[in-house]
């Protein structure tokens, strides 16, 4: 099976692409990327697709999270460890609450570019190209920094390779031991001043772990985890150059990440991004905002997943706290009336962004929680499975979103506002969110038969 050339993709007038000043330099970079080894392997993508099929079937839950936009300066062992620590700690809480496996998927090792609503930015009467992520141009507001440079794509590759190497070492080298992960949650509960019900949940998890150890359960599954990488497939030169034909199946895979998604701004049915992703075998996602209709979702599903393959397609909804209960039901009902069972995931971040009086782009933790609660409420009413959450977060103690257990205010934002693009939940807010989602998963578990836990005693 073939995949489209760059010339074919550019003929479709792709949106959200940088305008590079020298085509010859672009061509040279693309040639270099095509000669480099894959960052992930086709078999790993297939494994993830199998896991996502379980999510779609209500037998697993997806925890996807990481930076809004990664930076080259952030590629360090400490930063990678901090992000993994938070994601793994959240996953333990969700696994216990849902009593189903949690698929762990990072916005990591490739999330270096961002779509933007405007092509230019003006400050003090000076207009320059918008910062589109380290993959495209520099954050510094100077003419030289803001010129798109295709050679940055080589740095994306190098940074992603380093991040994946660190991640694989961490999750298989003892860092992901279940007992260590739970200790991070226990420390959060003790020190953060959280409500009593979170303390009770943490104590329950501790007793469950003690029970497993007492029963002699001490195998490899206690010490290692499966962890996959994802990012938005935005920059066509990078993604197309890293598309490879798998030697086993002769099928094309984008080898820049295990799971790739199409954003709300690039999901044109006959656009270049859909054209590229429909030709590859990776599990893929599509962001759906508040204007998306069920008919829109069906059309893009038919385009990307005509064979209705389990685990192939994930819909990541980003409605906003005030719209999720009105807009999401029709979307789910229309899609599932066709017999499709995609993975339904809630992105509670992108629909809840606002600017403060002191000029910071932020999100209110309460609104993030409200959208998640709306997402679960809708699925509870329809009897469908709330398959996962997609969250922008960091493992650091930044001050970018207001509210949460530390009750950050708008005046606190200037303390450690470090994001390269959109505001992220900090470590404590992310863990608090995990306990909030855990409560909803516990409610759902009570109200349904758990297919993972079904058991028929043997009669003698």
For the domain made up of 6-176+224-446, give the CATH fold. Answer: TIM Barrel (3.20.20)
Query: Can you name the residues that pair with 284 across neighbouring β-strands?
Result: 260, 313
Classify residue 74 by burial, with Cβ atoms within 10 Å: 0-12, 13-18, 19+. buried
Summarised one tens digit per residue, pLDDT across range 295-309 is 999 999 999 999 999
* Residue 382: HSE in the Cβ half-sphere, 13 Å Cα cutoff: 21
CA 38 to chain CA centroid, nearest Å? 21
Q: Does 422 appear as a known binding residue?
A: yes
350 known ligand binder: yes
Angle made by CA atoms 151, 155, 158, in degrees to the nearest 5: 140
Check the annotation: does 341 bind a ligand. no
**Nearest to 394, CA basis, from 29, 12, 82:** 82
Q: Which residues pair with 63 in a beta bridge?
A: 104, 389
The residues that bridge with 262 in the sheet, in sequence order, are 286
| Residue 176 CA: distances (Å) to CA of 63, 281, 392, 445 | 16, 29, 21, 26
β-strands 259-262, 227-232 pairing? parallel
Q: Is 278 annotated as a binding residue?
A: no
State yes or no: 380 annotated in a binding site: no
Residue 200 neighbours by CB distance under 10 Å: 11
One-character DSSP codes across 215-230: TT--SGGGT---EEEE
Contact of 311 with 51, CB cutoff 8 Å? yes
What pLDDT was estimated at residue 193? 64
pLDDT tens per residue, range 336-384: 999 999 999 999 999 999 999 989 999 999 999 999 999 999 999 999 9
Q: What pLDDT was estimated at residue 405?
A: 84
DSSP-assigned beta bridge partners for residue 408: 403
Q: Does residue 168 have a known ligand-binding role?
A: no
Query: Is 347 one of the annotated binding-site residues?
Result: no
CA distance 313 to 148: 32
CA distance 153 to 128: 21
pLDDT the model gives residue 460: 78
Provide the pLDDT for residue 192. 66
Structure tokens belonging to residue 43: 């078999």
Using DSSP's 3-state secondary structure scheme, residue 110 falls into: coil
DSSP H or E run through 313: strand 313-317
Q: How far is CA 280 from the centre of its chain?
A: 19
Report how far residue 128's alpha carbon sits from residue 226's, in angstroms, rounded to the nearest whole number: 42
Phi and psi, residue 409, nearest 5°: -110, 175
pLDDT per residue of the chain (460 residues) written in tens, 0 to 9: 789 999 999 999 999 999 999 999 999 999 999 999 999 999 999 999 999 999 999 999 999 999 999 999 999 999 999 999 889 989 988 998 899 999 999 999 999 999 998 999 999 999 999 999 999 999 999 999 999 999 999 999 999 999 999 999 998 887 877 777 777 777 777 776 666 777 777 788 888 888 888 888 776 767 778 999 999 999 999 999 999 999 999 999 999 999 999 999 999 999 999 999 999 999 999 999 999 999 999 999 999 999 999 999 999 999 999 999 999 999 999 999 999 999 999 999 999 999 999 899 999 999 999 999 999 999 999 999 999 999 999 999 999 999 998 899 999 999 999 998 899 999 889 989 998 999 999 887 667 777 777 777 777 7
Task: Identify the helix (H) or strand (E) that includes residue 297.
Answer: helix 294-304
Number of H helices, E strands in the chain: 13, 14
How many other C-beta atoms lie within 10 A of the C-beta of residue 250?
8
- Stated pTM of the model: 0.94
């Amino acid at each position: 099976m073939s995949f489209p050339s760059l010339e074919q993709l550019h003929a479709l007038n792709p949106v959200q692409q940088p305008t590079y000043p020298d085509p010859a330099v672009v061509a040279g970079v693309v040639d270099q990327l095509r000669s480099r080894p894959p960052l992930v392997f086709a078999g790993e993508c297939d494994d993830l697709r199998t896991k996502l099929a379980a999510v779609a079937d209500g037998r697993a839950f997806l925890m996807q999270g990481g930076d809004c936009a990664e930076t080259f300066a952030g590629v360090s062992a400490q930063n990678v460890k901090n992000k993994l620590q938070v994601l793994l700690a959240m996953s333990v809480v969700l696994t216990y609450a849902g009593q189903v496996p949690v698929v762990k998927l990072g916005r990591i090792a490739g999330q270096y570019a961002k779509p933007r609503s405007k092509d230019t930015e003006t400050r003090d009467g000076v207009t320059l190209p918008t910062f589109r992520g380290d993959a495209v141009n520099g954050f510094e507001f100077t003419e030289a920094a803001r010129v798109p440079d295709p050679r940055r794509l080589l740095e994306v590759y190098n940074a992603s390779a380093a991040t994946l190497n660190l991640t694989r070492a961490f999750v298989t080298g003892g860092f992901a031991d279940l007992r260590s992960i739970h200790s991070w949650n226990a420390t959060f509960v003790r020190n953060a001043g959280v409500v009593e019900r979170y303390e009770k949940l943490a104590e329950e998890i501790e007793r469950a772990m003690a029970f497993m150890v007492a029963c002699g359960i001490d195998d490899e599954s206690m010490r290692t985890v499966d962890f996959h990488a994802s990012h938005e497939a935005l920059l066509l030169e990078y993604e197309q150059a890293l598309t490879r034909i798998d030697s086993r199946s002769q099928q094309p895979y984008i080898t820049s990440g295990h799971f790739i998604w199409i954003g709300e701004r690039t999901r044109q049915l006959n656009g270049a991004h859909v054209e590229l992703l429909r030709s590859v075998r990776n599990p893929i996602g599509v962001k759906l905002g508040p204007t998306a209709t069920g008919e829109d979702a069906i059309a893009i599903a038919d385009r990307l997943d005509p064979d209705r393959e389990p685990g192939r397609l994930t819909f990541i909804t980003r409605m906003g706290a005030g719209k999720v209960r009105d807009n999401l039901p029709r979307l789910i009902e229309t899609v599932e009336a066709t017999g499709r069972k995609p993975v339904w995931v809630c992105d509670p971040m992108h629909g809840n962004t606002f600017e403060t009086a002191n000029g910071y782009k932020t999100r209110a933790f309460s609104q993030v929680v409200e959208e998640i609660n709306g997402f679960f409420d809708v699925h509870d009413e329809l009897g469908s499975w709330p398959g996962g959450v997609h969250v922008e977060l960091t493992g650091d103690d930044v001050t970018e979103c207001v509210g949460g257990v530390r009750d950050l205010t708008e005046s606190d934002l200037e303390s450690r506002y470090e994001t390269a693009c959109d505001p992220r939940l900090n470590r404590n807010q992310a863990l608090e969110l995990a306990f909030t989602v855990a409560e909803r998963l516990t409610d759902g578990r009570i109200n349904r038969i758990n297919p993972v836990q079904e058991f028929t005693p043997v009669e003698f």
